[in-house]
Structure 1
Amino acid sequence: MRIITRLIAVSDLGSRDIARRAGLPLQKVSDLLSGRLEQLSLEDLQILRETIDHELSTS
């Protein structure tokens, strides 16, 4: 979780764009950033990680 939140922080994309690209509701990204992990599944976290990794590797 900490890795994903740090990747979001250094990303050029905002939370809204990351959620859109990952196909997740913005609220799930907001929940992650505020520490409410119980709102996210492992699959959600994996999708976010892959989305951010892809964005960072194409920048």
Structure 2
Amino acid sequence: MRIITRLIAVSDLGSREIARRAGLPMQKISDLLAGRLEHLSIDELRQLYRTIDSQASPH
């Protein structure tokens, strides 16, 4: 979870764009950044990680 929140913080994408690309409501990103991990499923966390990681990886 800490890795994902750090990736969100340093990403060139804003939280809204990350949420949109991951197919999640913005509230889920807000919950994660506020430390409310229990509001996200493991699948949602994986999707967030894949979304951010694919944006950071060179193409």
Smaller-chain TM-score bracket = over 0.9
| Runs of 5+ consecutive residues of structure 1 not aligned to the other structure | none
| Corresponding residue for residue 18 of structure 2 | 18
Per-residue CA deviations over 1:1-59 (Å, capped at 9, x if unaligned) read 00000000110000000000000000000000000011000000000000000011147
| Runs of 5+ consecutive residues of structure 2 not aligned to the other structure | none
Q: Which amino acid aligns with 2:46?
A: Q
Q: Which amino acid aligns with 2:21?
A: R
Q: Which amino acid aligns with 2:13?
A: L
Determine the C-alpha separation between the residues in 2 that align with 1:57 and 1:8. Answer: 14
- Alignment RMSD, CA only? 1.1
Following TM superposition, where does structure 1 have runs of at least 4 consecutive aligned residues deviating by more than 3 angstroms?
none
| Corresponding residue for residue 47 of structure 1 | 47
Identity within the alignment, %: 71
- TM-score, structure 1 normalization: 0.96
